[in-house]
Amino acid sequence: MSSCSRVALVTGANRGIGLAIARELCRQFSGDVVLTARDVARGQAAVQQLQAEGLSPRFHQLDIDDLQSIRALRDFLRKEYGGLNVLVNNAAVAFKSDDPMPFDIKAEMTLKTNFFATRNMCNELLPIMKPHGRVVNISSLQCLRAFENCSEDLQERFHSETLTEGDLVDLMKKFVEDTKNEVHEREGWPNSPYGVSKLGVTVLSRILARRLDEKRKADRVLVNACCPGPVKTDMDGKDSIRTMEEGAETPVYLALLPPDATEPQGQLVHDKVVQNW
């Protein structure tokens, strides 16, 4: 086992905002930081980059689209640390607006990674979250635009306090199916697979937080979604206004909420402020 019992984990951390979050956690988190990436060579290169800066992350391969990969990571964390203290679900995909791939394929691939794989991460790792654990799901302000462009019926369903995880999964599946049948607009959906995927992540965070409050309230495990803002990464483009370090501020703030914190819980946070939507 590691000599340190505390551990924070960041997915998709070999570049961009994931790397910036891992860097800042290495500086501020009192424990080990595990940087994960799908590609081993790129992940190890990122570790070497941080080591050259005087930091000491660990590396573990992770493909969030592969349930067996998630479970191998879970078993590693359980064996090495007896669980997990901080989980930052950052790994995601986004297609450029001019990508020629058919819309329904983009929808299927985007939802597969950004929503369904993130949900798998939560479902596999929440059971090993230690008391006072923190889960940070990286969302986007595009989820708010997607919500505003949903029909009133869909808005009511996404806002409902009685919406279950199963209900949410059905909605995300319906969006993908409606794009395949070319009826998604008629069914009240926006034209943004990325926005819908991040809306799903935001609502999932609320549902998981509510469940934790019901079943593990004394443990004070907090789950939140956050919007880093438009950041200069490969995903958002070089013309975005924020540096990666600025984009990492809110995710790191949520990851390091003090042990006695009870809020924010199940919220969408931007610039360290809870967003009402």
Q: Which residues pair with 59 in a beta bridge?
A: 35
Site of tokens 């800066």: 53
**Per-residue DSSP letters for 179-202?**
HHTT-TTTTT--S-HHHHHHHHHH
Tell me how many degrees the CA angle 254-171-195 measures, rounded to the nearest 5. 50
Nearest to 204 by CA among 170, 228, 251: 170
**What does the DSSP 8-state code read for residue 84?**
E
Report helix, strand or coil for 154.
helix
In what helix (H) or strand (E) does residue 25 lie, and over which residues does it extend? helix 16-28
In whole angstroms, what is the distance from residue 177 CA to residue 244 CA?
Answer: 35
CA-to-CA dists, residue 89 to 7, 141, 215, 217, angstroms: 14, 16, 22, 22
Site of tokens 């479902």: 123
Q: Which residues pair with 269 in a beta bridge?
A: 226, 274
Site of tokens 């013309």: 239
Q: What is the DSSP pairing of strand 273-274 with strand 268-270? A: antiparallel
Q: Is 253 a catalytic residue?
A: no
CA-to-CA dists, residue 252 to 41, 177, 199, angstroms: 25, 36, 21
At 114, the amino acid letter reads: N
Annotated active-site residue in 115, 175, 189, 194: 194
At 50, the amino acid letter reads: L
Could you list the active site residues? 194
